[in-house]
Structure 1
Amino acid sequence: MLNIGCHVSSAKGYLAMGKDIVSMGGNVFAFFTRNPRGGKAKDIDVADVADFLRFKKEHKIGYLVAHAPYTLNPCAAKEELREFAHNVMADDLVRMEHTPGNYYNFHPGSHVGQGVEVAIELISHQLNEILKKTQSTIVLLETMSGKGTEVGRTFRELAEIIRRTELKDHLGVCLDTCHVYSAGYDIVNDLEGVLKEFDETIGIDKLRAIHLNDSMTPFASRKDRHAKIGEGSIGNEAFGRIVNHPYLKALPFILETPNDSDGYAREIASLRSMEQF
């Protein structure tokens, strides 16, 4: 069975998130560790976490794919912004250990004119400062569309961040379908070729999660505009190939489409209907 879900609100706690995803027919989910625009995270409710972990086991919920706030930029030009990114990620990774063995996804950041090479060095430096041998959480670098000065548009950029990070076994990649298609990787007409390039550049074992989004904009547009599944330039046929590909089908698929709960439930059911056994 596909491991599929969506972003759920963390406002009411872990158990509520678990109940929300089950009500939508999902068995994995994503959530923001704090406000997507940053700020202080609310305190962990230990009793709520314990209730959630029991619920998770009972309902066979798989990976949690936590998402860092969008404002986190470890390669910012300003030192105070890099410090903010450092403190938020370090705090989030401590908090993630309350639900051990899951994923923490972040956007590599924007170099804001410093250049990609400088950015890669800053990102890997921060990861080397934060990652701990004892942590159970795998940190995921997200593939990006390449708008503006974003880092992570190419597989080579992500591979270079991983190469310069000491605890490589604590790192993976989350592939966003909208982002890679917009970045110029043709997952519609050449999914095999894209995955072959990923394997040769990064290593397919590093691919740990998929953000499943259609694209409002055309191939290689370098835009980040998510569309509902089947309503964009990627289309249902391509998503059928993606969710059934042997390299991908066991991974957690996270929807980030412009939807409400009912819309996510319909998309989850639709994608499950594409599964080939």
Structure 2
Amino acid sequence: MLNIGCHLSASKGYEAMGKEALEIEANTFQFFTRNPRGGRAKKIDPADIEALLKIMRENKFPLIMAHAPYTLNACSANEKTREFAFDIMADDLKRMEYLPNNLYNFHPGSHVKQGVQVGIKYIVNMLNAILKPEQTTTVLLETMAGKGTEIGRNFEELKQILDGIALPDKMGVCLDTCHVYDAGYNIVNDLDGVLDEFNKIIGLDKLRAIHLNDSKNPFSSHKDRHEKIGKGSIGKEAVIRIINHPKLCRLPFFLETPNELPGYAKEIKMLREAYKF
């Protein structure tokens, strides 16, 4: 079974997301914990959450993934921005315990000319202050395209963050296909080599999810613009090789392509038909 879904809007509630996932034949999905460009979050409705959990149990969803807002920058040069990131993530992880044993993904952030090592230190300090032994949520660092002063443009930077975490079993990585391709990892012509490098530096046991996207930009462009599957420089055949790779095929895949629900439904159908396992 291919575990695949897309990004859904939480504005209508948790149960509504579960129903939308079923409508497009997805068995997982990703959602923003709150306004992606702000900081406000809707009040938790336990009944709404239980309705989603019921859908997940009855339809054998393996898990779902929350995404932190884009405004979260744990390594900003601005202290108030770092405090905002701390408050948002701490609150998000408390809220995620209503949905136990799932994933929470975030962009490591931009060091804003402070230097990579300073930025990594800020990220590590934040995570070590927030992560709790009793939490059931796994927090994922997302691979980044490397635009500007982004941290996470290569596997080594993510490894440095992971090495500093006091509770390493609470952490993992989400590999974004558009981002790594734009960052200079050739998943089109050397997928095995990229995975071998990831395993050598980080360890494939830490790879917990994949953002499945094509790219509007050419290889190693460091720009980060997602495209529909088969319409970009990665291409349909390379994406199909990714979902069928023995080291990746059991992971959850989350489409972040520029689509509405009908477009996601078409991509999911196409990928399910191409899946060999």
Q: Shorter-chain TM-score: what band?
A: over 0.9
Q: Which residue of 2 aligns with 1:155?
A: 155
> Counterpart amino acid of 1:100?
P
How far apart are residue 38 of structure 1 and its match?
2.1
Hey, what's the Cα distance between the residues in 1 that align with 2:81 and 2:145?
A: 22
Q: Which residue of 2 aligns with 1:222?
A: 222
Tell whether 2:171 aligns with 1:171: yes
How many residues are treated as equivalent by the alignment? 277
* Residue correspondence of structure 1 range 197-236 to structure 2 within 5 A: 197-236=197-236
* Residue correspondence of structure 1 range 77-226 to structure 2 within 5 A: 77-226=77-226
Q: Which residue of 2 aligns with 1:71?
A: 71
How far apart are residue 51 of structure 1 and its match?
1.4
Hey, what's the Cα distance between the residues in 1 that align with 2:146 and 2:262?
A: 31
How far apart are residue 240 of structure 1 and its match?
1.2
Q: Which residue of 1 aligns with 2:27?
A: 27
The residue matched to 1:209 in structure 2 has which SS? Answer: strand
Q: Which residue of 1 aligns with 2:3?
A: 3
How far apart are residue 149 of structure 1 and its match?
0.5
Hey, what's the Cα distance between the residues in 1 that align with 2:38 and 2:136?
A: 24
Q: Which digits, 9 at most, give the CA deviation of each residue in 1:98-135, with x for residues without a partner?
A: 01000000000000000101101110010000000000
Hey, what's the Cα distance between the residues in 2 that align with 1:19 and 1:44?
A: 18
> Counterpart amino acid of 2:50?
A
The residue matched to 1:153 in structure 2 has which SS? Answer: coil
The residue matched to 2:209 in structure 1 has which SS? Answer: strand
How far apart are residue 62 of structure 1 and its match?
2.2
Q: Which digits, 9 at most, give the CA deviation of each residue in 1:221-261, with x for residues without a partner?
A: 00110000000000011111100011111111000000010
| The 10-residue stretch of structure 1 (60-69 or 173-182) with the greater mean CA deviation from structure 2 | 60-69
How far apart are residue 25 of structure 1 and its match?
0.8
Q: Which residue of 2 aligns with 1:250?
A: 250
| The 10-residue stretch of structure 1 (148-157 or 37-46) with the greater mean CA deviation from structure 2 | 37-46
> Counterpart amino acid of 1:61?
F
Hey, what's the Cα distance between the residues in 1 that align with 2:19 and 2:48?
A: 12
Deviating beyond 3 angstroms after TM superposition, the runs of 4 or more aligned structure 1 residues are none
How far apart are residue 20 of structure 1 and its match?
0.5
The residue matched to 1:11 in structure 2 has which SS? Answer: helix
The residue matched to 1:100 in structure 2 has which SS? Answer: coil
How far apart are residue 276 of structure 1 and its match?
1.0
Q: Which digits, 9 at most, give the CA deviation of each residue in 1:136-178, with x for residues without a partner?
A: 0000000000001100000000000000111110000000000
**Structure 1 unmatched runs, 5+:** none
> Counterpart amino acid of 1:3?
N
The residue matched to 1:210 in structure 2 has which SS? Answer: strand
Q: Which residue of 2 aligns with 1:237?
A: 237
The residue matched to 2:11 in structure 1 has which SS? Answer: coil
Hey, what's the Cα distance between the residues in 2 that align with 1:133 and 1:242?
A: 33
Hey, what's the Cα distance between the residues in 1 that align with 2:48 and 2:224?
A: 35
> Counterpart amino acid of 1:247?
K
The residue matched to 1:110 in structure 2 has which SS? Answer: coil
Hey, what's the Cα distance between the residues in 2 that align with 1:251 and 1:182?
A: 22
